[in-house]
Every structure is written in C-alpha cells, then in structure tokens.
C-alpha cells in the first residue's frame, strides 16, 4: 500500500496525483463533483492519463516503492505481487486510473452516512481555532452538509464501479465487516487472490473494533439526524434506512 503512507494509510504519492486531477477540474475533496467533468473531455482525459503514466514511471514513484523496491525496478507496474493505494478521491478519478492500470481490481468500502458525517464534523470543527486554515472544510462544519458530501462520494463510487465486471470489483460494507471480520477478510483475500492462513487472518483482525458499527446510536443528536436521513434513496439502496436499528425511546 506504499512506503509513504500517512496516518490515514494513504500513499502520499498517489494522494498528490489525485489532488492534481482534482485541481485540473477545479474540484476539492469537499466539492468533488467537478472532477467527473474530466471524464467528458476526450483530449483532456487522454492528456491526464498520459501524465499519470509518466509520473508512475518517474523517480517520484520512489517514495511509494521505497528504496529497496525502487532499486529492483523503477516502475510501479513492475512491482511483484499485489500492490495498491487508498484514497476516497478514487471514487471520482477511478476511470482515469483504470486506463493507466487496466488490470486493476477495486475494493469499494462504504459506511453508514450518519457515522461518516459525524467523523467529518468532529475533524473539521477541530480546525476552526485559526481564522485561516487552508485544509479546513466549512462544508463539513454541519452534519447535514457532511451527510450530503457522503452521498456524493458513495453515489459516484457505486456508479463508476457498476460499469466493471463482477470479478473486478468487491463491495465492502463497513458494518458487515466489523460484525464478522474474519469472514470479511477471507472474502477480500479471495477477491485479491491472497492465500492467508487462519493464523494470519486472526492476527490481521485482532484490532477490529465491532462497536464502531452504527456508533451514531449512542448520541441523541445523531439519532435525530438518522431519522431525518433514513429515507434518503442512497440510505435505502444500501439498506441503512431500517429504523428498527434505533434504540427504543
């Protein structure tokens, strides 16, 4: 997943390339919709794909590969075994990356929108101490707008992955994975062609925290948000709209 991962396990190399694509569309992580327009301009799309190919074959890829792998072969595509990267922006830039790496497979992980909204709001409200903060998102200072942003990301990821063959994409429901992590990891490993022993699987899921699933139920204000959003089409589509999951009043 890269030798240059940040605290969110995102590769700095691929993160910067996705940011470059967003800037080309005048998009930002919290206003991502313009990024889809890149896919509609053939000349620009081709130029961006060529740029990505060039960067992935450049010395800059050394940060992702690390020195040892870089010395073995300077191209990411030449990397032996499985490799990949994590970045929510892939939800919008995926078609460009699939032109660069046509054999890629996609793990699409999604989570209940109310818990995602809470996570975004907590993070962004922690950044309001300074008047000028280049990374703060004013859009994610309210749960309603943060929830709306969740719908944009998840809708884009579902639409773009729906065009792929079944053996190219694996949908991972966050809450289902937390409920049965060993089974969930076996499914992921099978999809990726990884042969993991029972001991390896147990070790990998040892830090999973099942209580993080549907955590909003512990907070009355988030329960109210859930009641307001449960009938949203995307919540219904992903089977998050069942009010029976709420604590009794």
How far apart (Å, rounded) are the C-alpha atoms in residues 21 and 45? 10
Q: Which residue has the higher pLDDT, 33 or 133?
A: 33
Global pTM? Answer: 0.92
User: Would you kindly state where each structural domain of the chain is located, as residue ranges?
Assistant: 1-102, 105-249
**CB hemisphere CA count around 246 (13 angstroms):** 18
Residue 72 predicted with pLDDT over 90: no
- For 168-220, the pLDDT digits (tens) are 999 999 999 999 999 999 999 999 999 999 999 999 999 999 999 999 999 99
């Amino acid at each position: 997943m890269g030798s240059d991962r940040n605290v969110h396990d995102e590769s700095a190399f691929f993160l910067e390339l996705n940011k470059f694509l967003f800037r080309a569309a005048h998009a930002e992580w919290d206003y991502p919709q313009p990024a889809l327009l890149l896919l509609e301009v053939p000349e620009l799309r081709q130029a961006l794909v060529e740029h990505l190919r060039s960067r992935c074959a450049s010395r800059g890829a050394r940060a992702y590969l690390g020195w040892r792998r870089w010395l073995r072969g300077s191209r990411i595509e030449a990397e032996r075994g499985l490799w990949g990267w994590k970045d929510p922006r892939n939800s919008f830039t995926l078609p460009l990356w699939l032109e660069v790496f046509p054999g890629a497979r996609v793990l699409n992980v999604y989570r209940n929108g109310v818990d995602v909204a809470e996570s975004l709001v907590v993070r962004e409200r922690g950044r309001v101490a300074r008047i000028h903060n280049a990374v703060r998102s004013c859009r994610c200072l309210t749960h309603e707008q943060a929830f709306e942003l969740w719908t944009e990301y998840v809708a884009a990821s579902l639409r773009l992955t729906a065009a792929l063959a079944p053996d190219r994409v694996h949908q991972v429901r966050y809450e289902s994975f937390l409920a049965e992590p060993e089974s969930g990891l076996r499914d992921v490993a099978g999809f990726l062609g990884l042969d993991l022993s029972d001991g390896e699987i147990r070790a990998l899921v040892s830090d999973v925290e099942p209580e993080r699933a549907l955590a909003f139920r512990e907070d009355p204000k988030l329960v109210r948000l859930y009641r307001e959003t449960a009938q949203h089409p995307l919540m219904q589509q992903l089977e998050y709209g069942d009010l029976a999951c709420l604590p009794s009043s």
